[in-house]
Chains A and B, each alone.
Chain A
Amino acid sequence: GENVEQHPSTLSVQEGDSAVIKCTYSDSASNYFPWYKQELGKGPQLIIDIRSNVGEKKDQRIAVTLNKTAKHFSLHITETQPEDSAVYFCAATDSWGKFQFGAGTQVVVTP
């Protein structure tokens, strides 16, 4: 089945700096890769997603890149702000179309 690995598990950045989270997946049939942000006491919220026919997607300070050959995708947050502090999850669809989530990255943005 699909296996998604996410690194790092924790990430501390200074406000204004960039943050990068990387995920790898195993199923070459995966074709949809969403990223979720989870704040304390809340459910995961979709922040950006990318499909396999696209290599990069950007939405304001957030961007995602996908390398299908290498089976990895990354989340980039530029000009980080304290409200970016949260747990971020990547996911990839498996052969059955179900999401397999990464273990999560705790991002802490210090002022």
Chain B
Amino acid sequence: DAGVIQSPRHEVTEMGQEVTLRCKLISGHNSLFWYRQTMMRGLELLIYFNNNVPIDDSGMPEDRFSAKMPNASFSTLKIQPSEPRDSAVYFCASSSSTGGTDTQYFGPGTRLTVL
């Protein structure tokens, strides 16, 4: 069975541009987590969904960030407008629990560089 799928794997963009990151959950999973990883701050949870509903978005840095789950198997994370400080690796993870207290499986990540 395929794991979590993320696209693109690498994204280089200029400050002010819109960036959309995509994630496909593992089949049968119902919880989706977006993380950001930087050297300075480590792995930070941005937002998580359960059954397509956003449960906690307290980690979203600011209004420039938004996330959606248009269906049970797919999610997008959008940054508009992007800034150089958004440069990081963004991971999504999925699990089959009703909350966060179960095994999360990570995708390969999207390395974002904002010039």
Chain A interface residues toward B at CB < 8 A: 31-32, 34, 36, 42-46, 49, 89, 93, 96-99, 101-104
Whether A97 lies near B99 (C-beta < 8 A) is yes
A-B contact count (CB 8 A): 44
Not counting A43-B93, A45-B106, a sample of 14 additional A-B residue pairs whose C-beta atoms are within 8 angstroms of each other reads: A31-B101, A34-B103, A36-B106, A42-B108, A43-B91, A43-B107, A43-B108, A43-B109, A44-B91, A93-B100, A97-B101, A98-B45, A101-B42, A103-B42
Residues of A within 8 A of B100 (CB): 93, 96-99
The complex places the Cα of A30 from the Cα of B102 at a distance, in Å, of 12
With contacts A32-B101, A93-B100 known, is A99 near B45, CB below 8 A? Answer: yes
Residues of A within 8 A of B99 (CB): 96-97
The closest CB in chain A to the CB of B101 belongs to A97
Most central of A45, A93, A98, A104 by chain B CB within 10 Å: A98
Residues of A within 8 A of B56 (CB): 96, 98
Residues of B within 8 A of A36 (CB): 106
Residues of A within 8 A of B45 (CB): 98-99
The complex places the Cα of A97 from the Cα of B102 at a distance, in Å, of 8
The 4 closest A-B CB pairs, nearest first, are A43-B106, A97-B99, A97-B100, A97-B101
Residues of B within 8 A of A46 (CB): 103-105
B34 at the interface (CB under 8 A from A): no
The complex places the Cα of A93 from the Cα of B31 at a distance, in Å, of 15
A10 to chain B, nearest CB (A): 14
